[in-house]
Amino acid sequence: MASVEQAPTAQAQEATGIPVENPATGKVIATVPTFGVDEVKQVVARARAAQPAWEALGFEERGRVLLRAQKWVTDHADRIIETIVSETGKTVEDAQLAEVMYAAGAFGFWAKQAPELLADEHVKSANLLVRGKRLVVRYRPVGVVGVIGPWNFPLTNSFGDCIPALAAGNAVVLKPSEVTPLTSLLMAGALRESGVPEDVFQVATGDGATGAALVDEVDFIMFTGSTRTGRKVAERAARTLTPFGLELGGKDPMIVLADADIERAANAAAYYSMNNGGQVCISIERVYVEAPVYDQFVTSVTEKIQGLRQGPSTGAGSVDVGAVTFPPQLEIIRAHVADAVGKGASVLTGGKVGGGPGRFFEPTVLVDVDHSMTCMTEETFGPTLPIMKVADAEEALTLANDSPYGLQASVWTKDVARGEELARRVEAGAVCINDAQVNYTVLELPMGGWKASGLGTRHGAGGIRKYTQQQALLTTRLAPKKDPHMFPYSARKTGVMGRLIKLLYGRGKRA
């Protein structure tokens, strides 16, 4: 279990504390303070005062600090894993592969890529009026970035968004989920030990009111969470015209064609629907299988999921599927399964809340499903896998796109060209062919949702440039005392300008 690494203000210490529970055991393992509106204002003010010096260090020195943080993560991996497991109830392997490995890679990636992605860009123009002038686009940090993180990945999807913001030269205030704040507090200490100056990175623990106060104060807000809450964040940010990025809900489809490698597809379906207890924004949440291989696929997936071990993690390799981290999520999962069964679906394995003091839902396979059921249309965010038989790829594509969400999808076929053609027609920000989820580990690729799954991207050039303001610079070095277009106007000058416009742009009409 992590200790509270960041000392909160006196006012915050006096506020009502938030108990942090291990969802796999039901035991309270820590208490953290709730930061009120005034405390949030003070935190952001300190961040704003500290930011200019951090920016002035430049990319090279900031990169050195981030690389020291990378080493801190690898040196203290066991401690980070223990903290994550204690507050999320996930397995050691989920914490290791999807969190520690990601963070270690991200520190190195952004330390290396920030100087290149945010370097001044020299622009060439076809406009004769600016011939000989120097045209530059530069990227300047916005100032103070606020990050409101989710509970499912407290290191990767919460703290992880802070890394490129820091690399760009911003100060950052992170408001982690009140359910899983301990990892963020641990990383605050890690950054200080790695050389991040005081107040450049701070953690403000608290509830929804704390997050709302943060939106009001910062220069950019990054939110990861539900679509419902994301809309509230957008509405709040609009009051102050604060720019924002949103990664929201998903209902990610898997399309399995008749010529797919069924064994690989079944293994992937079992893993990418159940890893992290199904609490992954890009988890496989629904499967469409062409009729000729439907029975084979269902049998294989069901056998694999039936064999999964679930329970509190007692160490490496002890369990496969962990707990349900967020208390209300357990009821959502139960309700989706009950709705499906009530409308004619069959449960092949699982289907019930697990026993014991912790929060568990059995790994579940559902068949005979359709789009009248919430398990196929709304985000379940749990260890369930509904599988639907389709006549062909076109029906699968139609159903895959029949969703307000568009975060991620996957297509499975041995005909890679056909798979890519189909993937290009899927309405999602990322599509894998014969794979799933691993694109998230490729920090060079943008990761963002279409439709109600979000605005903007993380990763790629956009993943760091969103934390900056673009500034256009035009420099005139050699010029006459007066340009031809300057006052006074005359009929002759106007006539010359008209002929020039026809000469420059009239060819398109003739063509």
H/E element, 166: helix 162-167
Q: How far is CA 131 from CA 126, 474, 498, 505, in A?
A: 8, 11, 19, 17
Local structure of 244: helix, strand or coil:
strand
CB burial readout 77-107, b (16+ within 10 A) else e: beebbbbbbbbbbbbbbbbbebbbbbbbbbb
Reported as a pLDDT band with limits 50, 70 and 90, residue 505 is confident
Q: What pLDDT shows up at residue 129?
A: 86
Tens digit of each residue's pLDDT (9 = 90 or more) over 78-98: 999 999 999 999 999 999 999
DSSP, collapsed to helix, strand or coil, labels residue 439 as helix
Give the residue-averaged pLDDT of 157-177.
98
Residues 280-327 have pLDDT tens digits of 999 999 999 999 999 999 999 999 999 999 999 999 999 999 999 999
Give the C-alpha separation, 355 to 169, whole Å.
48
Non-local (6+) Cβ contacts of 287 within 8 A are: 253, 254, 255, 256, 269, 297, 385, 386, 387, 388
As a whole-number percent, the residues of the chain with pLDDT over 70 amount to 96
Could you say which of 39, 178, 247, 379 is catalytic?
247
Nearest to 211 by CA among 153, 147, 160, 166: 147
Give one word for 70, left, alpha or beta, with left for phi > 0 and alpha for psi -120 to 50.
Answer: alpha
Give the closest residue to 158 by CA, choosing from 149, 146, 166, 170: 149
CA distances (Å), origin 493, targets 437, 479, 482, 502, 503: 62, 19, 14, 15, 15
pTM of the model: 0.94
pLDDT, tens digit (0-9, with 9 covering 90-100), for 187-207: 999 999 999 999 999 999 999
Q: Is the pLDDT of residue 14 over 80?
A: no
> Rounded to whole angstroms, how far apart are CA atoms 149 and 187?
14
Is 281 one of the annotated active-site residues of the chain?
yes
Sequence-distant (6+) residues with CB within 8 A of 476 are 132, 133, 134
How big is the chain, counted in residues? 511
Beta-carbon contacts of 396 under 8 Å, excluding residues fewer than 6 positions away, are 253, 255, 257, 288, 290, 390
pLDDT of 3 strictly over 80: no
Q: How high is the mean pLDDT of the chain?
A: 95
Distance CA 93, CA 314 (A): 11
Those residues whose C-beta lies under 8 Å from the C-beta of residue 131, and which sit 6 or more positions away, are none
Residue 510: the pLDDT is: 52
Question: pLDDT value at position 203?
Answer: 98
* Whole-angstrom distance, CA of residue 336 vs CA of residue 46: 45
Q: Which residues pair with 222 in a beta bridge?
A: 147, 245
pLDDT band at 2 (very low <50, low <70, confident <90, very high): very low
Residue 410 scores a pLDDT above 60: yes
Split at pLDDT 50, 70, 90, the class of 16 is low
CA 282 to chain centre: 9
Euclidean distance between the first and final Cα of the chain, in Å? 72
pLDDT digit string, tens, across residues 20-61: 999 999 999 999 999 999 999 999 999 999 999 999 999 999
pLDDT in tens, 98-108: 999 999 999 99
Percent of the chain with pLDDT over 90: 93
The verdict on whether 247 is a catalytic residue reads: yes
Domains of the chain: 10-248+459-469 (3.40.605.10), 252-441 (3.40.309.10)
Is residue 161 within 8 Å of residue 233, measured between CB atoms? Answer: no
Q: Which of 281, 285, 375, 379 is catalytic?
A: 281
Residue among 81, 72, 82, 117 nearest 100 (CA) = 81
Residue 407 · residue 373 · CB < 8 Å: no
